Amino acid sequence: MNNFAQQSAELHPYFDRIQKHAFAVGGVGLVILAAAALVDPHQFFRSYLLGFVYCMGLPLGSLAILMLHHLAGGTWGYAIRRLLEAASRTVPLVLVFFLPILLGAHELYEWTHAEVVAADPILTQKSAYLNLPFFTVRAAIYFAIWITLSHLLNKWSLQQDQTTETSPTRRMQVISGPGIILFMLTMTLAAVDWVMSLEPHWFSTIFSLIFIIGQGLLTWTFMTIVAVRLHERKPLSGLITNQRLRDLGTLTLAFVLLWTYTSFSQLLIIWSANLPEEITWYMTRLHGGWRILGVLLMIFHFGVPFLLLISSQLKAKVRVLTAIACGLIVMRLVDLYWITAPALHHSRLEPHLLDLVAPIALGGIFVGAFFWQLKKRSLVALNDPRFPDLIGKDHGHHHG
C-alpha cells in the first residue's frame, strides 16, 4: 500500500510550485492591506470583512462536506476526501484572520457604539445579544467547535490509514451526525453575527442558510478545479474517473439550484410581505449600480451554470467543468460583495481596489496552506472498509 504514499510524494514538487506562488501572491496582498490599514482604516476594514467572509468559506465548507461524506458515504467523497481534509486543517487560519474583524468591530458594526444604541429603541432591545463582549465569546465558541471537529476527523483519518480495524471509521461516522448539527447551528449564528448584524435592523430567517449554501458551493468549485488538475496523475487517476468528475458537476448543479431556490425564496417572502424593516434591504440592492450586480448574479450565478451543467455531455468535459467552477468562484465574491458592501456604503456602487486585494490576499494564504497540508498525507485514504473494492481496483490498476 506504500505505493500510494510514493505516488503522492511524486506530486510534491508540483504542489510546492503552486504553494510558493499562492503564498507569494498572498504575502504581497497582505503587505498592501497593511499599508492600506494605516492610510485608510475605514476602507480597510470594509474590504477586509469581504475578504474574510469569502475565504473562510473554503476551510469551513470543506469541514461540512467532509462530515456529509462520512455520514452518507458515496464514492465522490472518497475520491476527494484527502483534499477536503487538507482544507479542513486550515480552519485555525480562519481564527487568525478573524482577529482584525474583532479589532475593527467599532468601524464595521453600528451596534458597538453606545450612543447609537441608546438613541435607537430597536438596537436597545437587541443589545443583550448584540454587544462586543458576548460577540467575542460567541466567536470563541464557534472556533472551538470547528477546530475540535476538524482535529478529530483528521486524527481518526490518519489512524484509519494505519490499522485495518473499523473503529476509526466508525468514530468518524458517529461524530459527523452531531458534528453537522453543531456546524449548522454555529455557522447560522456566525452569519448573523458577522454579516447580518452589519444592518442590525434587518432580519431574515433564511439568510444564514443562503450563506452556508454559498460556502458549500465555493468549496465544491474549488475542489472540482483541484480534482480536474489531479485526475490524470497518479495516485488519483484511478479514483477521479470521468464518472467522478460528472458527479462533481452534478453536485455543483445541486448547490447552484439550492442557492437560487433559497435566495429567490427570501426575495419572494420579503417582497410579498412588504414590511418596511425588511424590504429596505432589497430596495438598496435593487437600485443604482447595485442592480447591475443583481442581474449579473442571476445570469452567471444561476443561468449560465444551470444551462451548462444540466447537460451530462458538457459537464463531463474537463474544460467546461473548469470554466464553470472558475466562474462560480468569481460569482461567490460578487454575491458576498452585493450582500456586505451596500450595508457599509449605503449610497451607490463604488468598488474599491481593496475589495479585490483583500480576497486575493487571504485567498492566496489559504490556497498556499491547503497545498502545504495536502503534502502531509497520502492522497488516497487507506483501509476505508466502505470502499474496499475501489482501493482494490485502483491498486490492481496501478500494478497491472
64-105 per-position pLDDT tens digit: 999 999 998 878 888 899 999 999 999 999 999 999 999 999
Give per-residue pLDDT as tens, 231-287.
888 888 888 888 888 888 999 999 999 999 999 999 999 999 988 888 989 988 988
The whole-number pLDDT of residue 59 equals 98
Question: Residue 165 and residue 152: Cα distance in Å, rounded?
Answer: 17
Dist. CA 398–CA 400, nearest whole Å: 6
Residue 400 has pLDDT above 50, yes or no: no
> Which range of residues forms the domain containing residue 261?
24-379
Look at residue 390 and tell me if it is in a domain.
no
pLDDT of 83 reads 95
User: Can you tell me the mean pLDDT for 19-35?
Assistant: 97
In a domain, residue 109? The reply is: yes
Rounded Cα gap, residues 326 and 271, in angstroms: 32
- Is pLDDT at 394 greater than 70 in this prediction? no
Domain annotation covers residue 326: yes
Most confident segment among 277-286, 315-324, 369-378: 369-378
Percent of the chain with pLDDT over 90: 75
Among 32-36, 50-54, 151-155, 278-282, the minimum mean pLDDT is found in: 278-282
| Residue 18: pLDDT over 80 | yes
Q: Is 57 exposed, middle or buried (0-12, 13-18, 19+ CB in 10 A)?
A: buried
| Spacing of C-alpha 223 from chain mean position | 11
pLDDT for the residue numbered 7: 87
Asked if the structure places residue 139 within a domain, the reply is yes
**How large is the average pLDDT for residues 33-59?**
96
**Residue 200: band (very low, low, confident or very high) from pLDDT cuts 50, 70, 90:** very high
Please give the grid coordinates belonging to residue 282. Answer: 432589497
Enumerate the H helices of 231-317 as residue ranges: 242-273, 276-285, 289-297, 304-309, 312-315
77 lies in some domain: yes
Is residue 214 predicted with pLDDT exceeding 60? yes
* Number of domains the chain contains: 1
What is the rounded average pLDDT for all residues in the chain? 91
pLDDT at 299: 96
- Nearest in space to 303 (alpha carbons), one of 345, 276, 339, 264: 264
Distance (Å, rounded) from C-alpha 65 to C-alpha 251?
A: 11
100-136 tens-digit pLDDT: 999 999 999 999 999 999 999 999 999 999 999 999 9
Is the predicted pLDDT of residue 147 greater than 70, yes or no? yes
What would the mean pLDDT of 385-399 be, rounded to a whole number? Answer: 54
Residue given cell 463531463 in the structure block: 316
Model confidence, pTM? 0.93
What is the structure's pLDDT at 345?
76
Collect all residues with Cβ–Cβ distance below 8 Å to 219 and sequence separation of at least 6.
57, 58, 61, 62, 64, 65, 84, 87
Examine residue 370 and state whether it is found in any structural domain, yes or no: yes
- Residues 235-247 have pLDDT tens digits of 888 888 888 888 8
Burial class (CB in 10 A: 0-12, 13-18, 19+), 28: middle
DSSP structural state of residue 274? -
Query: By three-state DSSP, how is residue 73 classified?
Result: coil
Q: How many other C-beta atoms are found inside a 10 Å radius of the C-beta of residue 202?
A: 18
Residue 168 pLDDT greater than 80, yes or no: yes
pLDDT for 262: 97
Within the chain, strands assigned E span none
Instruction: Give the lowest-confidence range in 69-78, 135-144, 199-208, 218-227.
Output: 69-78
Among residues of the chain, what percentage have pLDDT more than 70? 96
